[in-house]
Chains A and B, each alone.
Chain A
Amino acid sequence: MSDIGKGDVILEIRGLAVEVQGRRILEGLDLAVRAGEVHAIMGPNGAGKSTLSQVLAGRPDYDVRAGTVRYLGEDLLALPAEERARRGLFLGFQYPVEIPGVNNVYLLKAALNARRRQLGQPEVDAFEFLGLVRDKMRLMQMDESFLSRGVNEGFSGGEKKRNEILQMTVLEPVLAILDETDSGLDIDALKVVAHGVNSLRRDDRAVVLVTHNPRLLDHLVPARVLVLAGGRIHTSGDAGLALELARRGYDWVRAEAAAA
């Protein structure tokens, strides 16, 4: 068990400015995420939602120009991507990459052991691991064949997303950032994914859902909804804000952000 208690600050972003290929995407973004919370970051396409996710995970070609990010009290931006993952930060990718020839389940085992080493826990052996991963696969309603396939190799869009959530449930991250995990899923798959995320919710963890689709929030009720526009958090509110976005769309957000 961790020594993180409900309400402790897990992630604190101040004045974050990010450029991608010379173009300013995030412009002075502030955000605080506390243990036990589920946040939804919403916003129109191109608002910088994915950029934020990727920067937090440590993508090297994104250029942080200003601001600070503290994760569990540490300077997150000073840590390489692999160190962030080992400290319990998980990014569920919007477009999980296919890596033929790298076994899906061995990658997951290596990822889990990297995390456990960081926590000072003994590595899991193959037998123990297989039992664990089979349980989680049942939860995600995934076929046994996922065990022997290459990472995302030949997976459908929905299978890739399920695989991301499977990884998340096995790794049990402190902070899970799910980048458009709901996009491209039918309603049944959406329920399975939401179920996987709900199974992870605990007082010592936090989840950030990045989505432009308010429908996911029917299944996963967030504590706070933050609307990203113009490179910063434009508006925030409770779950009711998501309903308003579902009703009104994003045009008014865009208009207000442009006027600001």
Chain B
Amino acid sequence: MSANPQAASPLARLAGAQAALPGGAAWAAWRGAALERLIAAGLPTPRDDAWKYTSLRLLARRELAPAPPRPVATGALAELPALAGPRLVFVDGRYHAALSSPRLPDGCRFTPFAARLAAESPQALGATLAGDAARIDERVRLLNASLAADGPSLELADGARPAEPVHLVHVATGGGAYPRTRVVLGAGASLELLEYHLTVGGGEAFVAAAGDYRLARGATLTHSSLQVAGDRTILLDDAAVVVGAGARYAHRLVALGGQLTRLDLRVALDGEGAGAELAGIFLADGAREQHLRTLVEHRSPHTASDQLYRGVAAGRGRGSYDGKVIVHPGAAKTESRQSSRNLLLGREAAIESRPQLEINADDVKCSHGATTGTLDEQMMFYLLARGLDRDTARALLTYAFVGDVLRRLAPAALRRAVEARVLGRLPAAELLREFVA
């Protein structure tokens, strides 16, 4: 990490913003320490390996101070897919009771972070600053910690298995937002968690989100993240997941919006038989930038991970997949697969893909593959030779390209909603609907 004096200036402004945040002295100290470390590290630059593909030069002119409370009409949520289940809404990182419908099932406890700020120390919430900073770039997490004042905290009791998904809705209205999420699943618990990032109003927004997810033995968490932020929103999201023995974590990324978005997803398979299945698409059209960075650590024997990502860039869009799998010593019988395929639809579009594998154990089965290319000429000719027009053929092949990821989306209502959104971004959408009916 290298300090960058020019880029440090937006950070220095944040110290003033900290004073206005709620919480006692312990929290002030915690945030102060985070900002201090962040200022020492400096904002990431492309010279940092973890930020090779993501440029944060846009941050220099962005308002980072937390947005003041603004009224948000209920209609703002109309674009969310109509799905059953309790809904917890956070506007600019703060819990919004009027927009939420937090009737949670038995065994599931929700606390707005803010409600616990006064009573508990940061450590009690597990929001620790300790981390392997030497190996893991935690600057998004530090940025979040510097200004976090609220966010969802969900706990599922042992064996709790709510039938309906829980929805975490993050709404940005302009200015900074620093939601901090914590989800803890007890042994054998099972949850479908749907997370949304959207923007209301056309203002410039900056979101630095951080989440901690912990799955006890035998728990199952399906975590879908739908990024449909506005064209002037920068969204940095850092999720750290610890998967216990026999537990399963599934993550689905659907990145369709934003000016610049990035997800750092770190998954530790920390117990025998733990598994992670990560899949996602990004659709970087216009001048959008969408980046994804994954780190999967196999720390125990008989752990399995599977990654399936499809990226599409059109116009001047840019994207990246930077994924690393580390098999630690002793993690025998590990199985890991990484697939990153990317499609470029414009001469100025670009996608970088870097799957990496670090194996420090014997008797493991690991594979990885990455491709970036244009539409398949032979497929294109076949469709044209059957009388399809060019726009439809291109759109159809683009849609088919992301199809294997879309098919993994659950519940079905979410899949349909995402399919409709993806189709809506392609030409000849009406015709395509036939093909996927």
Docked complex Cα distance between A181 and B401 (Å): 28
Contact A102 B385 (CB under 8 A): no
Q: Does B125 contact A (CB under 8 A)?
A: no
Contact B390 A61 (CB under 8 A): no
Contact B435 A103 (CB under 8 A): yes
Task: Indicate which residue in A81, A101, A109 contacts B399 across the interface (CB closer than 8 Å).
Answer: A101
Task: Indicate which residue in B387, B397, B399, B436 contacts A82 across the interface (CB closer than 8 Å).
Answer: B387
Task: Indicate which residue in A81, A100, A108 contacts B381 across the interface (CB closer than 8 Å).
Answer: A81
Nearest Cβ on chain A to B423's Cβ, whole angstroms: 13
Question: With a CB–CB cut-off of 8 A, which chain B residues contact A80?
Answer: 384, 390
Interface set of A (CB-CB < 8 Å, partner B)? 57-61, 80-82, 84-86, 91, 93, 96-97, 99-103, 106-111, 114-115, 118, 150-151, 167, 171
Question: With a CB–CB cut-off of 8 A, which chain B residues contact A85?
Answer: 384-387
Contact A115 B382 (CB under 8 A): no
Q: Does B392 contact A (CB under 8 A)?
A: yes
Question: With a CB–CB cut-off of 8 A, which chain B residues contact A101?
Answer: 399-401, 403-404
Task: Indicate which residue in B387, B397, B437 contacts A99 across the interface (CB closer than 8 Å).
Answer: B397
Nearest Cβ on chain B to A74's Cβ, whole angstroms: 16
Residues of chain B in range 364-399 having any CB-CB distance to chain A below 8 Å: 376-379, 381-390, 392-393, 396-397, 399
Number of interchain pairs (Cβ within 8 Å) = 82
Given contacts A97-B379, A107-B435, A110-B434, contact A102 B386 (CB under 8 A): no
Nearest Cβ on chain A to B309's Cβ, whole angstroms: 16
Contact A58 B385 (CB under 8 A): yes
Nearest Cβ on chain A to B409's Cβ, whole angstroms: 14
Nearest Cβ on chain B to A147's Cβ, whole angstroms: 13
Docked complex Cα distance between A114 and B387 (Å): 6
Q: Does B412 contact A (CB under 8 A)?
A: no
Contact B400 A86 (CB under 8 A): no
Docked complex Cα distance between A115 and B387 (Å): 7
Question: With a CB–CB cut-off of 8 A, which chain A residues contact B26?
Answer: none
Contact B434 A82 (CB under 8 A): no
Q: Does B163 contact A (CB under 8 A)?
A: no
Nearest Cβ on chain A to B175's Cβ, whole angstroms: 41
Docked complex Cα distance between A108 and B403 (Å): 19
Contact A111 B404 (CB under 8 A): no
**8 nearest A-B pairs in the assembled complex, by CB-CB distance:** A101-B400, A101-B403, A114-B387, A85-B387, A111-B386, A81-B384, A106-B435, A82-B384
Contact A81 B385 (CB under 8 A): yes
Q: A97-B378, A99-B379, A101-B401 are in contact. List 16 more A-B contacts (CB 8 A).
A: A82-B389, A82-B390, A84-B385, A85-B385, A85-B386, A85-B387, A101-B399, A102-B396, A108-B386, A110-B387, A110-B434, A111-B388, A114-B389, A150-B400, A151-B382, A171-B386
Pick 13 A–B contacts, CB within 8 A, sort by A: A58-B384, A60-B381, A81-B385, A82-B388, A82-B390, A93-B385, A97-B382, A100-B400, A100-B404, A102-B397, A106-B434, A110-B388, A151-B382
Nearest Cβ on chain A to B99's Cβ, whole angstroms: 37
Closest to B436 in A: A103
Docked complex Cα distance between A118 and B388 (Å): 12
Closest to B400 in A: A101
Closest to A150 in B: B400
Question: With a CB–CB cut-off of 8 A, which chain B residues contact A86?
Answer: 387
Docked complex Cα distance between A85 and B383 (Å): 10
Q: How many of chain B's residues have a CB under 8 angstroms from any CB in A?
A: 28
Nearest Cβ on chain B to A258's Cβ, whole angstroms: 32
Docked complex Cα distance between A241 and B89 (Å): 79
Residue with the highest number of chain A CB atoms closer than 10 Å, among B377, B383, B404 = B383
Interface set of B (CB-CB < 8 Å, partner A)? 376-379, 381-390, 392-393, 396-397, 399-401, 403-404, 431, 434-437
Docked complex Cα distance between A108 and B431 (Å): 13
Docked complex Cα distance between A61 and B396 (Å): 21
Nearest Cβ on chain B to A130's Cβ, whole angstroms: 13
Closest to B377 in A: A61
Nearest Cβ on chain B to A102's Cβ, whole angstroms: 5
Task: Indicate which residue in A102, A103, A110, A111 contacts B431 across the interface (CB closer than 8 Å).
Answer: A110
Nearest Cβ on chain A to B426's Cβ, whole angstroms: 13
Question: With a CB–CB cut-off of 8 A, which chain B residues contact A151?
Answer: 382
Residue with the highest number of chain A CB atoms closer than 10 Å, among B386, B403, B437 = B386
Closest to B403 in A: A101
Closest to B437 in A: A106
Nearest Cβ on chain A to B371's Cβ, whole angstroms: 15
Contact B435 A102 (CB under 8 A): yes
Closest to A81 in B: B384
Docked complex Cα distance between A109 and B379 (Å): 17
Contact A91 B401 (CB under 8 A): no
Question: With a CB–CB cut-off of 8 A, which chain B residues contact A84?
Answer: 385
Nearest Cβ on chain B to A24's Cβ, whole angstroms: 22
Closest to A103 in B: B435
Question: With a CB–CB cut-off of 8 A, which chain A residues contact B404?
Answer: 100-101
Question: With a CB–CB cut-off of 8 A, which chain A residues contact B435?
Answer: 102-103, 106-107, 110
Task: Indicate which residue in A57, A106, A150 contacts B385 across the interface (CB closer than 8 Å).
Answer: A57
Docked complex Cα distance between A91 and B381 (Å): 11
Question: With a CB–CB cut-off of 8 A, which chain A residues contact B389?
Answer: 82, 114
Closest to B376 in A: A97
Question: With a CB–CB cut-off of 8 A, which chain B residues contact A108?
Answer: 386
Question: With a CB–CB cut-off of 8 A, which chain A residues contact B378?
Answer: 97
Closest to A89 in B: B385
Contact B383 A107 (CB under 8 A): yes
Nearest Cβ on chain A to B390's Cβ, whole angstroms: 7
Contact A107 B381 (CB under 8 A): no
Nearest Cβ on chain A to B27's Cβ, whole angstroms: 49
Docked complex Cα distance between A86 and B392 (Å): 15
